[in-house]
Amino acid sequence: MSLMMAGSGGRKASVLKVAVASVVTIGGLAAATVLYRRQKQRKEEARTFGPYDYPTTRKCNQVDELHGTEVEDPYRWLEDPYSPEVQRWVERQNKCSKKYIDGLGEDLEKFKTKMTELFTYDKYGCPTKYGDWIFFLKKEGLQNQFVFYKQKDEDGAQPEVLLDVNTLREDGTAALKTYAFTKDGTKMAYGVSFSGSDWFEIKVKDVATGQDLVDRLEHCKFSGVAWAPGGAGFFYARYPPPPAAATKGREDGAGTEVDAAAQQKLYYHRLGTTQEQDQVVFEDPENPKWLYGSEVSDDGAYLLVTIGESCDPVNRLYLYPLAGFDGRDVGTLGPVVKVVDHFEHKYDYITNEGRKFWFFTNKDAPKYKVATLELPEGDLAALSPDALAALPTTDVVPEDEGAVLEGVAVTAGCYLLLLYLKDVQSKFEIARLDGSGRRAVALPGVGSITGLSAKKEQGEFFYQFMGFQDPGTTFRVRVAEADGATTMAPFQRTEVPGLDPSEFSTRQVFYSSKDGTKVPMFIINHKEAPEGPGPTLLYGYGGFNISITPGFSLNRLLWVKHFGGTVAIANIRGGGEYGEEWHKAGTLHNKQNVFDDFIAAAEYLHNAEISSPSQLAIQGGSNGGLLVGACINQRPELFAAAVAQVGVMDMLRFHKFTIGYAWCSDYGNADKDAAEFRTLRAYSPVHNVGGAAGPYPATLLTTGDHDDRVVPLHSYKYAAALQNVQGAKPEQAAPLLIRIDTKSGHGAGKPTSKQIEEVSEMVAFIAKNTGATWKD
């Protein structure tokens, strides 16, 4: 038996040995094959082509079918930010663009030196007052981020540092994202983001001592903070944690993911407790893409919850009575009252007197108005949806056909502050709550109100004003309760040593677009500029109801002064410069109007002999990056240079990534609607490279590896298409480059050091390709 066992065991061992040998041999061949393929792939990756040694970008065989049409997507693989191949591609692209940028020579260094020298001026945010304290943001010299100061509101008081985020990261990439004070000014909740991401964490600071409390809340994005009456806690919104792939083994990985943001919830946090103990105030699992904002009414009687689903100026508005809220259990909140339960109009809370509410709204008013709505007496929870929907509104500040009402605040108990935009310039009025007694508030010149801080219980307010040549002044305005008369005095004034604003001139022109629409455009140049065409930078945005108003930009003025350049800013359709009709004229099937307006601006500059096709550069960021990409695809012969920053470039897939679904209100959705697919396909930058005859202008794309607003894959895919399609043509002599910044996001909170570096490279790139040279 033992021999049989030995014999049989020997045979089994022999068979097993052969099997193992076979596996080893096959495994060796497989490993060799994989190694060969990797070596071949690396060799392919290492190849370059064209006059600028563009890295080779491989094409895959991805084809999608949309509404019966096959759409190739050869660069789909560039959508994976964690792929080693994508990371190598980024390194090679940066190496390629760096080689070109390093070759820009003295003009780059001179601009960067001058920019660094003059950027040392002190910069201020608009102050706000709570309790006995005045709070404001200030950035001294070359500090990477603004510092939060507190100052007693009394004569001779000196400002003290309350929060300095510069101390949180040596590289300057920690940035203040949001903040909110208790009504008495004793506590401050603040949110800090890292590396440019939209993600931030909330902490709480004791104002008197400057010490942080134990509270720390993570996974916040697109949220403010609303303190509950009494200051025992606050309301905020957060998402589930980002995907593990974004954070595992990666420093500051959050913000590199491309997954769609979903399932935001509104929470209540009680001070001194952990985040795990926070209670959900509102959620709607059936609508995972809804976004929540919260605000406590002036009288502390209501929690107002605004709900959005897109970037359109429309929202739902719910309220919770706070009379029985104990600051501990959200179950003690009153039942929710769905005052506005549709996405048809915008309703922003201004103030209330008992159950009478004032709203800033565009209902039947595309240029906006102030209206009141009064809730009936009795049990609000007993009101049916039909009864709430039937509640009438009363206009107290009717729509102004000649100007857009941009914002409203309340001060001195019974006065409305009305901020208007008329032909892209700020106007300011004050009126009683019932709309009577309207009068103008004098402004210091032509420009924009860039900040306003007012509270109903305070008899004063602050506002900040700046222009293209004016770096800004903050004014403190006292309001007489009896008649609303205002007394204004400067509180903080910004000056730039070494720069004389009187050297420059600004004028506004109105030009005709393709369909005859009159479009405003500001033109800034040096007073001693010679006659005739010269190097010009044309900037535009054209989307999401955002108005591009006069604002100070040091780098633009240095371009004008030292390169002999001109700056033109076109207020094209899609923005909010003339209200919702102007906005809608540049969205969805009307989006081509935006590109036509910008192209018409270029043609105006050429025909007016301000610039020429060999001297005109265009620039835009985000939606403006899309603008630049679409325009160089459609009319490349008009431009000498183009800079597209953090642009939306793949219009067939943008809605699949992070917060992109919210942009469907402006762009449409290629998956859901055949007509929208055709519109998007017709202008999508990634899908229309090389369609126009002739060479493209010198093009620089920029993006950041932590941009979780417009994820960098958009710029990656467009750069690949530009280089592979257009860059391979013999007539394409100008460069087509991409610069990918690390620990950098969509732009907000970018440290000063990165700002100076990026803008210096951009201006030098433009100068090189428009024939401009530095002049001391």
What residues are annotated to the active site? Answer: 622, 707, 746
**At 507, which helix (H) or strand (E)?**
strand 504-512
Quick check: 542 and 626 in contact, CB under 8 A? no
Beta strands in 140-278 (DSSP E): 147-152, 160-164, 174-181, 187-194, 200-206, 212-220, 225-227, 233-238, 265-270
Backbone angle region of 488, left / alpha / beta, with phi > 0 → left and psi within -120 to 50 → alpha? beta
Region at 188 (left for phi over 0; alpha for psi -120 to 50; beta for the rest): beta
Say which amino acid occupies 297.
S
Separation of alpha carbons 479 and 458, rounded Å: 9
What one-character DSSP code corresponds to residue 399? P
Amino acid present at 175: A
- Per-residue tokens: 566: 């001109």
What string of H, E and C letters represents the secondary structure of 46-80? HCEECCCCEECCCCCCCEEEECCEEEECCCHHHHC
Nearest Cα residue to 221 out of 192, 193, 199: 199
- Cα end-to-end span (Å), the chain: 103
Q: What is the C-alpha to C-alpha distance for residues 467 and 449, in angstroms, rounded to an integer?
A: 9
Which residues, including other chains, have CB under 8 Å from residue 622's CB and lie 6 or more apart? 541, 645, 646, 647, 648, 709, 710, 746, 747
Q: Which residues pair with 304 in a beta bridge?
A: 295, 319
Residue 566: beta bridge partners?
536
Task: Tell me how far CA of residue 156 lies from CA of 151, 153, 159, 293, 349, in angstroms.
Answer: 10, 9, 10, 38, 36
